[in-house]
Structure 1
Amino acid sequence: MSSQAARLAAVSLLTLACATAAHAQSGGTDVDQVVITAARTSLPASALPLTVDVINNETLGQQVAIGGSIVDAISTLSPSFSPTRQKLSGSGESLRGRSPLYAINGIPQSTPIRDGSRDGYTIDPFFIDRVELIYGSNALQGIGATGGVVNQVTVGPPLRDGASGKVLAQTTLAHKLGDAVGGKLAGLVGWREGDFDATVGVAYDARGAFYDAHGRRIGMDNTQGDVQDSKTLSVFGRFGWQIAENTRLDLVANRFELKGDGDYVTVTGTAVAPTDGNRAARLPTTSMRGVVPGIPAANRVETVSAQLTSDLYGGNFTAQLFFNRSRDTFGGDKNATFQDVSIAPNGTLFDQSSNRSRKLGARVNYERTVPGIKDLTATVGVDALTDTTAQLLVATGRAWVPPTKFESVAPFVQGNYALFDGKLRLAGGVRFENVQLKVDDFTTLAFYGSRKVGGGNPDFKATLANGGVVFEPAHGIRFYGSYAEGYTVPDVGRILRAINVANVDVDTYLAVEPIVSNNRELGAEYKRGPFDASVAYFWSKSKLGQLLVKNAGGIFDVQRQPVAIEGLEVNVKARTPVPGLEVSTGYARLRGKTDTNADGTLDTYLDGANISPDRLNLAADYQTGKWGFRAQVQKFISRNMQTALVKDDFEGYTVADAFVRYELPVGAVSLGVQNLFDKQYLTYYSDTSLPTKDKIYAGRGRTVTLGWEARF
C-alpha cells in the first residue's frame, strides 16, 4: 500500500472515530437489516463479513430518471465502479478493477465463454425492485463474480387481494429537440386472489441521438452496439402460488430486446473542426445521417425461472430451475478478418457476427441452525449449469467461434457461528467447482489460414474458499475482515477463433485454467445517531488473470498474465439539523499492476480498459412535504498513465446531476438532469484505451428527462 493510500486510510479511520460515515448508496435503507438474497442466506447483512449495499426502489428510480439505465445508476452511486462507456457494450467497465457478475434474481446474465459484454442490458429497470451489490471476488453465485455481484431483484407479488400496479411516462430532451428526443412508456398490473397471484408488464423505450456539451452528435458505436438511436421492448411476467403457509412457487419470465435504428454513420475526429474543450490532436468522434450496412447492432435476452421456497424441517429450502437465452448481434463491415476469396474477391466481403448463448441451470440450497449448536447456521447446496455459446457470421453463415459447451456442477457449504450474544461472528465456507468444456472439430476462418482444429473436452476442478470474522462491540459499530475467492474462465471464444497454426487440438492448445481471484478485505462501519459510515481496504490477486490488449488489427485479444489490485473505499452520510436534509460523500482509490514479461514481477500498471479511475462522490438529498430534491457530483481524478499498458494519460473531469420530484393528486412528476452544467469531456474508456483518433467518444451533454409515474 502506498504512503498516500496509507494516509488516506488513516484519515478515513479518524473520520469513523469522529462518527461521520455511512454507506451513501443505500438511499435510506437500513442495509444491515436487509437480507441480501445474492448472498444465499437468510441472515442479515450485518452478519456477513462482506461489503454489501442495496440500491432501493426510490433511489434506483431517481438514478434511472437521470442516466437511463441500471448500469448508469450503479456507476453513479458506487465510487469503485468504473465510469460507464455510455454504450451498449460494457467491455472495460469494472467493479473494484474486475468484471462484476450481473444477475436477475440470482440468474447469471453473462456469457463468459464468448463474452459479448451486454449483460448490463437484459431487463428494463421498471421491473426491478432493488439492486443488491456484493463487492469483491466471490463464488457465492458461481462463475463470473471476480469483481463482485450485481443482483437485480425483480418486483414482488401483489401485497393484497385485487388489482394493483403502476404506470410510467417519460420524455428525454437534449441540445437538439429533433432527433435527440426520446420517450418511454411502461405499465405493470398485478392481481392477487387467495393463494394465486399474477403480475405482467411491458416497457417500451425509444432513445434519440445523444449530443455532447458542444451540441454535436456523439459518435455511434455501430460495431459493438449503442444505446442511443435505439428502441427497447421489455416484457415481464411473474406468477405465484402459495402452496402452503410456508411453501411458495414463483414463475418469473422476462424478454428484453434492444435494437439499434441504424440511422447514423460514424465520422472520425479528423473531420470535425476543433472547438474549445477538445484536445488539439484528439477530436471526438461524431455522427451524421446515413444508412448503416447490414443489420444494426442489437441485444435480445429471454429468461424463465421457477423457484420453490419452503420451510423444511426447521430450515429454509430453496430450489430454482432456470433457462436463459441471449443473442448479441454486432455491426458489420468489410473487415480483413471476414475476407475469404473462395466466397468473394478480397476486400469486398461484408459480414457481421452474432453471439448466441443458451443456459440451463439449477440451484438448490438448504439453510438451518445446526442441531445441538443453536448459534451455528449452516447452508448446504449444489449448483449445476450448462452454457452453450457460439459466435456466427450472419451474412455467410460461417462459425467464427464454434459451438462451445460449458458444464459445471458445484456443491458448496457455508457456516456462520454467532458467539457472545452475536457480538462476534465467524463465517466461512467452500465451493467445489467441476467444469468441463466440449468443442467439436472445426475450421477457423480464412483470415487465420482455414486451420482445421481437433475438438476436445478440457476440464478443470477448483476448490474455492472463503472465510471471515465480524465483530460488533456495540450496536451500530461493526468491524470485519474476510478472504474470498471467485473465479471465471478466460474468454475461450476469442482464443479458439484466433488459432492460426496447423495440427492442434482443443485439449492440448486451449488453456482453460480458471481465473481464480482472491479478495482480502478489512472494513469498519459506524451507524449511530445522525451519522452512518463505512471504510474498507481491499487487495486482490490472480496468478493467471485475463487482460484485454488491442492488437495491430484493432481487435482486443486475451492475454493471461498475473494481476494484483488494491483499493480503498470510504462512504459517508449525515442527517443534518435541517429537517429532511441529508448529505453524503464517497471516495474510492484503486491501483492495479500486471506482469507483462513473465519474470514474476508486477511491473506495469493497468490501463483504462482494465481498471477504473479514482473518484470522489458528493450528494445532497432534501425531502419536504410533497417535494423531493437531489443534487450529486462525481469527480473523476486525473491519472498519469505513462507506466501503464496503454500510455495515455487521463486528465479527469467533474460532472453534476440533479433530480426533482413533486407529488400530484394522482401520481408524481419528476425532472432528472444529467450533466447539469453541460461539461464537455471524453469518456474514460475511449480516453485511456483507444488513443488513436478513431472512436474517441465525448460524454453526453446536458440531458433532461421529464416523467410522470402513478401507482394504484
Structure 2
Amino acid sequence: MRKSCSLLMTGVSLIAMPAAAQQQAAATDGAIEEVVVTAARTKLPASALPLTVDVIGSADLAQQAAIGGSVVDAVSTLIPSFSPTRQKLSGAGETLRGRSPLYAINGIPQSTPLRDGARDGFTIDPFFVDRVEVIFGSNALQGIGGTGGIVNQVTVGAPKADGNSGRVLVQGTANDGFEGDSFGAKAAALLSHREGRFDATVGAAYETRGAFYDADDRRIGMDSTQGETQDSRSTNFFARFGYAVWEGARLDLITSRFELKSDGDYVAIPGSRATGLPGSAVKGDPPGVPAANRTESAALSLTDDDLVGGTLTSQLFFNRSRDTYGGEPTPIATFQDVRIAPIGTLFDQSQNRSRKLGGKIAYERAMPGFEDLTGTVGFDAIWDKTEQRLIATGRAWVPPTDFRSLAPFAQVNLALLDEKLRLAGGVRSENARIRIDDYTTLASYGSRFVSGGSPTFSDMLWNGGVIVEPIDGLRAYASYAEGYTVPDVGRITRAITRAGQDIDSFLDISPIISNNKEIGLEGDHGPFKGSATYFWSTSTKGQLLVLTNGVYEAQRQRIEIEGLELNLSYETPLPGLTLSGGYAHLEGRNDSNGDGKVDGKLDGANISPDRVNLAAAYAEGKITARLQAQFYLSGDVGSGTTFADFGGYTIVDSSIRYELPVGGVTLSIQNLLDKQFIDYNSQTQRLTDSQRFYAGRGRALTIGWDYSF
C-alpha cells in the first residue's frame, strides 16, 4: 500500500492526469469532454460523470482488430489494467482491474454469469462494431455482471443520408514463415440504404483462421477442450432496421447471429514445464465434437430525444448462446460413472446453453426551473435460463437454473459554480431470484441428491461522486460505486459433495456485492493529455477460481484489490506524430482460511500482471501508422503459500495504412520482433500441467483492403 501511494504521488507530481474520462493512446475520436458513453445510461458527456471511461473509436478498433483479430485483443492491448489475452476462444481468467468485466452489445449482456462459459468476448465480429465503451470498476449501470467494469460494443449506426452506402473488407493472414496451414482469410460486407423515415443495414462476415506458430516456428498447442480461435472458421450475419417515428424519435431493430467453430484438424502434443518446451500440435482427429460457440441476439429499441423536455430510451432484447466444449484425449475423471462404463473409459464433453430475455427503460431530463439538476429514473428486468449438459451421455452437469432480476433505479447529477463543481449519485434496487429444481450431482461428486429451491435476494446498490474543475484543463474526482452479480452458480452447484444440501439455505449462491472507491485527476495542457486513477475494490463474499481435480471450481472468499492506472499522451512538433504511454499496477489478496482477513495473494487466474504500454501513432496525408509495445512486468503471483514466478515478456506490434484512389490497404504485424515467450496464463496457472503449457504467437502478418462508399 505504501509503495502504491508513493507511485501515485510521483505520477501526480509529473503530469496532470484524467480520470473522469481516461484517454488511452488509441482514443483519438475528439476531445474527452465531447464523449457521450451510452453504457453510462445518460446523455451527459463523460466529463460530467465520476467514472473512469475509455472509448475505442472505429478507426482504432479496426487497426487493433487487424493486428490481434478480435475486440478482446483490442481492449486487452490498449488498456493496461486488462489481463493479457490467452489467444484462445475461452477468456477464463481474463479480468479488468482483477475482476470479470461485463461484455455487452448495445447494452445487451453477453456474459452468462449463472455458468460462466468465458466465451462472451467472441459474440460478434469486430467489423460490425463502431466503437467500444469501457467503464472501469464495479458498478451497476447495466445490472448484473459489472464487478470489474463494462465492455460495451456499440454496433454500426444508421445511415445519415438518403441513398446507398456501405463498406467492404478483404484480408489475409499468415505466419511470417508462410507455412501452408498458417494462412487465414476474411471477407466482410455491409450495405445500408436510407429513404425518408426508413433505413436498413445488412451485412455478413466470414473468416477462416489457420494454425498459429510461435517465434520458434512450432505450432502452438491446441486447447481442444476450452476452444481455439486458431484452426477455426466463423460467420456473422448482421441486420439493423430503423424507422423515424416522429421528429427526434426512432424505432430500431438490431439482430445478429455469430458462430465460431473449430475445424478439429489437430491434436495436442504436451510440452515440458521442466525443460521449458511449450506444447505443440500435429495433424489428427481430436475425440468428440470440436469446440464451438454460437450467439443469436435481437433488440428492439425506442428512443426519443425530446419527450416532455427529456430523453426516453427503451429496449426489449433476446439473447441465446450455445457453447460447446471439446473432449480431452484422456477421459476426464469428473465425467466417470461406473454405472455407465468402467472407470477411466467414459468419454464425454459439455455444452453450455443459455437464454436471456429482458427489457430496459430510462427517462432523463433537467429539472424544470432548476436546469442545473439532471435526473434519471428507470427500470431493468432480465430473465436468464442456463444449464450445462454432457452431450455424449445426456447427463446434466449443471442443472437448469432460472434467474430473474427486477431493478428500479434513479440517478441525479447537479452542476454548481458554472459547472466547476458537480455532484452525482444514485441508487439501484436489485431484486433477484434463483430457481433450481431437485437434482443429483455426477457420480464423481458422490451422486448427491440436492433439494431444489427458489432463494430470493434484495439489495440497495449506491453510488456517488464529486467532480471539481478548479481551472480550465484540470479536473479531479472521487467516487464510490457498488457492483452486483451472481457467482458462477453452475460451478458451485455441480460440485456439491455434502449430502442433504438444500438450495434454499445454500449461502454460496448468494450474490456478489463489490464496492469500488477511486480518486483521480485529469489534465489537458497544450500538447499533453494525461490521467491518473487510484482505486480500491472490496467484496466480502467474492468469487475465486480454484483448480480442483483438474477442473476450476468457484470458492466464495473475501477479496480486496487496489491499483494504480496512469496514462499520458504528447502531440509532438512533428505534424501527425503522437507519443503515448500507460501503466497499471494491481495488488489483490483473498481470505483463504475464512477468518475474515485477507491472507493470500491472487493468482494468474484472478488478476493481471503489472504492465507498461508505449506507442507512437502517425497520421498525415494518406498514411496512418502505429508502433506499440506492451511490457508485462515480472513478479510473483500466487495464492496462499503457492507462488508462480512470472518472468514477464514484451510484445511489439505495428500497423501501417495507405489510402488508395479506391479504399485503402493496411499491413499489420503482430509480435513484430518475433519474440518467443510463454504466455501469462501458462506461466501462472496449472503449474504441474504440461498439456496446457503454451507459447504466445510469433510474428504474424495481416494485409487487408477495405473500401467505404
TM-score, normalised on structure 2?
0.97
1:123 correspondence with 2:129: no
In terms of mean alpha carbon deviation, does 54-63 or 279-288 score higher? 279-288
Aligned to 1:273: none
Specify the alignment match of 1:471 in structure 2.
468
Retained in 2: the 8 A contact 1:29–1:56?
A: no
Aligned residues of 2:492 and 2:508 also touching (Cα < 8 A):
no
Residue matched to 1:381: 378
Instruction: Return the match for 2:635 from 636, 639, 663.
Output: 639
* 2:284 matched residue in structure 1: 290
Distance in structure 2 (CA, Å) of the matches to 1:244 and 1:567: 48
Cα distance in 1 for partners of 2:252, 2:29 equals 29
Q: CA deviation at 1:476?
A: 2.1
User: Take 2:26 and 2:80, find their aligned partners in 1: how far apart are those partners?
Assistant: 9
> 1:609 is matched with which residue: 605, 615, 630?
605
| Equivalent residue, structure 2, for 1:203 | 205
Query: Are residues 1:15 and 2:14 paired?
Result: yes
**Residue equivalent to 1:26:** 27
Residue 251 in structure 1 maps to residue 247 in structure 2: no
Deviation of the 1:292 alpha carbon: 1.1
In the alignment, what sits opposite 1:539?
536
Shift of 1:640: 2.2
- Inter-partner Cα distance in structure 1 for 2:516 and 2:17: 28
Report the alpha carbon displacement of residue 269 of structure 1 after superposing the two structures with TM.
Answer: 0.8
Secondary structure at 2:147's aligned position in 1?
A: coil
Q: Which amino acid aligns with 2:2?
A: S
AA paired with 2:292? A
Residues 373-522 of structure 1: pairs in structure 2 closer than 5 A: 373-522=370-519
CA distance in 2, matches of 1:447, 1:643: 26
Partner residue in 2 for 1:302: 296
> Identity rate of aligned residues, in percent?
60
2:85 aligns to what?
A: 84
Retained in 2: the 8 A contact 1:590–1:612?
Answer: yes
Query: After the TM superposition, which of the residue ranges 585-594 and 367-376 deviates more from structure 2?
Result: 367-376
Give the count of matched residue pairs.
702
Q: Which residue of 2 aligns with 1:275?
A: none
491-500 or 39-48: which moved more?
491-500
Deviates further, 332-341 or 587-596: 332-341
Measure the CA separation in 2 of the matches of 1:315 and 1:255: 34
**Preserved CA contact (<8 Å) 1:489 1:514:** yes
Residue type at the aligned position of 1:268: P
Distance 1:116 1:202 in 2: 25
**Could you say if the C-alpha distance between residues 109 and 573 of structure 1 is closer, same or farther in structure 2, counting changes exceeding 3 Å?**
same
What SS does the corresponding residue of 1:495 show, helix, strand or coil?
helix
Partner of 2:311: 316
> What amino acid sits opposite 1:525 in the alignment?
E
Residue correspondence of structure 1 range 557-572 to structure 2 within 5 A: 557-572=553-568
- Name 1:52's counterpart in structure 2: 53
Deviation at residue 646 of structure 1 after TM alignment: 4.1
Bigger shift: 126-135 or 8-17? Answer: 8-17
Q: Write out per-residue CA displacement over residues 423-468 of structure 1, whole angstroms, 9 at most, x where no aligned residue.
A: 1000000000000011111122222222222110011111110000
Partners of 2:233 and 2:373 in 1: CA distance: 51
Deviation at 1:131, TM superposition (A): 0.3
Alpha-carbon distance in 2 for matches of 1:256, 1:475 = 46
Q: Is residue 327–residue 354 contact of structure 1 (8 Å, CA) maintained in 2? A: yes
Gap runs ≥5 in structure 1: 271-278
Q: C-alpha separation between the residues in 1 aligned to 2:591 and 2:271?
A: 34
| Counterparts in 2 of 1:350 and 1:526: CA distance versus 1, 3 Å | same
TM-superposed deviation, 1:497: 1.1
Deviation at 1:17? 4.7
Q: Does the C-alpha gap of structure 1 residues 530 and 437 become closer, same or farther in structure 2, counting only changes over 3 Å?
A: same
- Which amino acid letter does the alignment assign opposite residue 487 of structure 1? Y
Q: Distance in 2 between matches of 1:190 and 1:595?
A: 54
Separation in structure 2 between the aligned mates of residue 289 and residue 62 of structure 1, nearest angstrom:
32
1:160 has 2:130 as partner: no
Provide the secondary structure at the position in 2 that maps to 1:167: strand
1:19-76 Cα distance to aligned partner (Å, 9 max, x none): 9x95423134323211100000000000000110100001001100111000000000
Deviation at 1:645, TM superposition (A): 6.1
Give, in angstroms, the shift of residue 159 of structure 1: 1.1
Determine helix, strand or coil for the equivalent of 2:646.
coil
Kindly provide the CA deviation profile for residues 120-169 of structure 1, in whole angstroms up to 9, marking residues without a partner as x: 00000000000001001000000001010000000001111111000000
Does 1:229 pair with 2:231? yes
What is the CA–CA distance in structure 1 between the aligned matches of 2:463 and 2:482, rounded to whole Å?
A: 6
Q: Which runs of structure 2 are paired with 1:647-686 in the superposition (5 Å)?
A: 647-686=643-682
Provide the alpha-carbon RMSD of the alignment. Answer: 1.5
Deviation of 1:176 (Å) = 3.9
**CA gap 1:503/1:599 in 2 versus in 1, 3 angstroms:** closer
- Residues 92, 645 of structure 1: CA spacing in aligned structure 2 closer, same or farther, 3 A cutoff? farther
TM-aligned CA distance change 1:451 to 1:60, over 3 Å = same
In 2, are the aligned partners of 1:650 and 1:687 still within 8 Å (CA)?
A: yes
In structure 1, give the amino acid aligned to 2:12.
L
> Would you say the 8 A contact 1:222–1:297 is kept in 2?
yes
Take 2:145 and 2:619, find their aligned partners in 1: how far apart are those partners? 39
Distance 1:343 1:280 in 2: 37
Structure 2 residue runs without a partner (length 5+): none
> Relative to structure 1, is the Cα distance of residues 666 and 18 closer, same or farther in structure 2, using a 3 angstrom cutoff?
closer
Structure 2 Cα separation of the partners of residues 534 and 500 of structure 1 = 49
Query: Which of 582, 585, 590 does residue 586 from structure 1 map onto?
Result: 582
Distance, in Å, in 2 between the alignment partners of 1:623 and 1:17 is 25
Q: In the alignment, what sits opposite 1:276?
A: none
User: Does the aligned pair in 2 maintain the 1:460–1:513 contact within 8 Å?
Assistant: yes
User: Do the aligned partners of 1:595 and 1:601 also contact (CA within 8 Å) in 2?
Assistant: yes
- Kindly provide the amino acid, as one letter, of the partner of residue 616 in structure 1: V
- Structure 1 residues 518 and 645, CA, compared in 2 at 3 Å: closer, same or farther? farther
Counterpart in 1 of 2:339?
342
Where does residue 281 of structure 1 map in the other structure?
275
What displacement does 1:336 show?
Answer: 1.8
- Decide whether aligned partners of structure 1 residues 119 and 646 sit closer, same or farther in structure 2, where only a CA change above 3 A counts: farther
Deviation at 1:261, TM superposition (A): 0.5
Show the 5 A alignment for 1:163-182: 163-174=164-175, 175-182=177-184
- Code of the aligned partner of 2:293: N
Between 1:507-516 and 1:371-380, the stretch displaced more is 507-516
8 Å contact kept, 2:104–2:152 = yes
| Corresponding position: 1:267 with 2:269 | yes
1:57 maps to amino acid: S
Letter matched to residue 684 of structure 2: T
Residue number among 666, 690, 699 corresponding to 2:686 in the alignment: 690
Shift of 1:283: 2.3
Q: Is the 8 A contact 2:17 2:532 kept in 1?
A: no
Paired amino acid for 2:675: K
1:216 alignment partner in structure 2: 218
Asked if 1 retains the 8 angstrom alpha-carbon contact of 2:604 and 2:637, the reply is no
- Bigger Cα displacement from structure 2, 73-82 vs 525-534: 525-534
Deviation of residue 18 (structure 1)? Answer: 10
Distance 2:461 2:151 in 1: 20
TM-score scaled by structure 1? Answer: 0.97
